[in-house]
Structure 1
């Protein structure tokens, strides 16, 4: 009997050359995110940019250099306003975008139903309200690790 499922192979595939692109304009929030991600996902490289434009440039550079795209984007909705984030999401999720399969997790202090609805309308993957303490960040990234890296199968470079 041949076993077609192996949880280990999924985890290994998800971690292979894995990176997360974090788009966050607040350096203090970035420091919390970086430390919490380092504790919860030490196998994953974290790339930080502070604007939607820098995120676009980074993704384009990945394609130009034939480097692996991030497995996931963690995007602050307000940079400091939401306009650039909405534009970035729409560009990434437009038909025929080379980045369309990359999950976009938006986080914000806003729990506005309008923001949440817009994210899903534009093709974003999920929305979380930003944790307010370091322990909450750790709990969030532990959950993120379990779901995005150990449960689901993320798209491969050519997937």
Structure 2
């Protein structure tokens, strides 16, 4: 007999963060606002370039700071090779950080961008919405999937 699955996992989002790597200031604002409206108690750590984001993750690995639960990565930073290089750098930091899901969040729907991103180890690829209501819908879906459906590894240096 199947027991009903509860949508909420107690304490799952408590003190959690999402690391966002996005070079477009307008998209940074949209993403931050959508996260605030969709995720209760989740901090958006927004970085405008890959160097700052990778340095933050390295600091987390070295000092035991709380790791983000999810990474949203704009592929074109400003070139797609920058996004792919960021994925490689993140995966090389260490096993705890390599287990954090990386969702490429791009304006590009080009087949080669999608295929190459998966070949380089991203967890998901999503095309960015075009208006704020679509951004909110996307982040509600993101929350339902990553916070309430999927079970992620509990890394040793994270406190979520």
List runs of 5+ in structure 2 lacking aligned partners: none
- Give the 5 Å matches for 1:73-112: 73-94=71-92, 97-112=95-110
Q: Distance in 1 between matches of 2:38 and 2:78?
A: 27
Aligned to 1:42: 40
Q: Distance in 2 between matches of 1:101 and 1:12?
A: 22
RMSD: 2.2
- Give the 5 Å matches for 1:66-145: 66-94=64-92, 97-145=95-143
Asked if structure 2 preserves the Cα contact closer than 8 Å seen for 1:106 and 1:126, the reply is: yes
Asked if structure 2 preserves the Cα contact closer than 8 Å seen for 1:90 and 1:122, the reply is: yes
Q: Distance in 2 between matches of 1:108 and 1:28?
A: 14
Residue 14 of structure 1 aligns to a residue whose secondary structure is coil
Provide the aligned length of Structure 1 versus Structure 2: 155
TM-score of the superposed pair, with normalisation by structure 1: 0.88
Q: Distance in 2 between matches of 1:102 and 1:13?
A: 18
Q: Could you say if the C-alpha distance between residues 124 and 74 of structure 1 is closer, same or farther in structure 2, counting changes exceeding 3 Å?
A: same
Which one of the candidate residues 149, 153, 156 is aligned to 2:154? 156
